[in-house]
A and B are shown apart, each in its own frame.
Chain A
Amino acid sequence: MKNRINFLFLLVVFLTFSHCGQSPFLHHKNADELQNASSQKETKRTEESSFSGIESCDFHFEKSKKCGSITWETQPNLKKKTDGSFFLHTWEGDSENKNGIFNSFPYSYRLYLFMGSMGHGTGKDIVLNELKEGEYRASSVYPIMRGDWQIYFELLNPKNPDEIVDTALYCCDYNGLEMKCPSPCPSL
């Protein structure tokens, strides 16, 4: 009888603690389940985007009034240990692109991932290759863990790469399988 009371007491304590403190054990998602959901969502998104002729301004260089958009080619995948890549479009102006004309800027670029919520980055830059005027392919995109990531875009003076002309920020929430962008940016 005493043992039963002790067991019930421990059970009540466990449930109380786990309820008040939001036990990760009782409230979590599994990476494998997210993989399936992500695949279904990816198919829908591709269908939707094919109907749109307008590119939204995903990130914005405030000082120089320039915009850019991102279209994911491959999502980085922690389970498969594969890098991600995306297509980058840039244009003059600070609003959405309605005419489909893109512009390259007279600067060099630096792109990197930073995890503001943790206070560290990945330690290596994203690789950027120009495809044609205002269109680029960014590769080696590998967030090393799940969480809130920011993609930093820097416009650098080509004569002095240490001089940053302008910066822009694009915030994503990474679940190990998909960069959900844009997501709310942390306080920076």
Chain B
Amino acid sequence: MIQFNFDKNSIFIALCALFFSIDKGVGAPCCSGGSAAPHLLSSDDQKLFQISQSQSKVIGDTNQAGESIFRSSQENETLRTTQISYTTLVNDRTQIGASIPLVLHTVNALKNFQSGDLLLTSAYEVLPEWSYSEWKPKGLMYLNLTLPTGKSIHEVNNGDLSQTSGNGFYKLSTGLFLQKIKDTYDFSITPEVQYSFQRTFSETRSTVNAGPGASLSLSAAKSFHDVRIGISFQPTIQFKTKTRFLENQITSTSGEKTNVNTSLDLGYTLNDENALSLSYLDQTLFGPAKNTTLSRSLTLQFSKKWLR
């Protein structure tokens, strides 16, 4: 039986977090590169529940040569995403979790609300912190499976981009989350590799092999009592995608997709179990960006954790 123990302030702020519409997203689901953020239990907790409300606005596009064009103010593409995730320990060093986004995708006058891609997570604490070390980080090796429960651009046959809410592929990703806390500072580095499996889409009569991808996330933060301020950089790459049309056997190989997610995070600890965070993510600040859309997003997240 799950029990929540909130004071009045916590409830008010949590309700704001849940229902006050703040923008987030990491980019248009059709194109933008990125890594599924692992919702890991990185501290000594038993369970973690997170809900976030975010909105993302697509600012521009980059082509294969890396030339960026920022969109006119009359071109409106936004993604409003509510994401719910839950992670729990299954034994002292192993954890599992799941995360599902609900996406409202708006492209000019067209809107569609549907689920995004479901993410299943498992992780093992390969580097536990059982004793104090000056240099040794805490390390979690994780394995994620993304299920294409959202609708991808390969399934849209009427040119309406607002119908897209996912990437369309079964994807396995694995990475190593390394974290070091030193005084009031914390640092983390997360290299990740991904593989998207080939899939045939009857709607567009195509077979698409998106193949491998990779990302590297670097973050640093400083805490001031209950407030934590951090920054992170995450370069990502999706290697060449091969597409084949069933009818005519035309094959096409896409270029690589690259982008760098830069984010500024502000966290506030309500009490030992509850926290709020506000993140601003920008894909336009650093490059190289190639063959992708460029977005800016704002996310408000509420986290509830259960201590061991």
Contact = CB atoms under 8 A, between A and B. Distances in A.
Nearest to A120: B153
21 contacts: A17-B286, A21-B287, A22-B66, A23-B285, A23-B286, A24-B62, A24-B284, A24-B289, A29-B67, A29-B68, A31-B69, A78-B72, A119-B241, A120-B30, A120-B153, A121-B204, A123-B159, A145-B30, A145-B31, A147-B64, A176-B75
B248 A24 contact: no
Given A31-B72, A120-B154, A146 B61 contact: yes
A21 B72 contact: no
Nearest to B252: A116
A123 B204 contact: yes
B161 interface: yes
A170 interface: no
Pick the 3 closest A-B CB pairs, nearest first.
A21-B287, A119-B241, A28-B68
A35 B284 CA distance: 22
A175 B68 CA distance: 10
B208 interface: yes
Interface string A18-30: 1001111101111
Contacts of A187: 253
Contacts of A175: 69
A86 B248 CA distance: 24
Nearest to B58: A145
Nearest to B203: A123
A188 B253 CA distance: 6
- The size bracket of the interface on B is 35 or more
A151 interface: no
A23 B252 contact: no
Nearest to A10: B231
Interface of A: 17-18, 21-25, 27-32, 34-35, 78-81, 114, 116-124, 142, 144-148, 152, 154, 162, 164, 167, 173, 175-176, 186-188
A147 B204 contact: no
A97 to B, nearest CB: 26
B41 interface: no
Given A34-B69, A79-B72, 18 more contacts: A18-B285, A21-B260, A23-B286, A28-B60, A29-B69, A30-B69, A31-B69, A119-B208, A119-B210, A120-B153, A121-B204, A121-B206, A122-B159, A144-B161, A145-B161, A146-B61, A175-B69, A176-B71
A29 B64 contact: no
B288 interface: yes
B254 interface: yes
Nearest to A83: B159
B74 A24 contact: no
B153 A167 contact: no
A122 B191 CA distance: 34
Contacts of B161: 144-145
B72 to A, nearest CB: 4
A81 B291 CA distance: 22
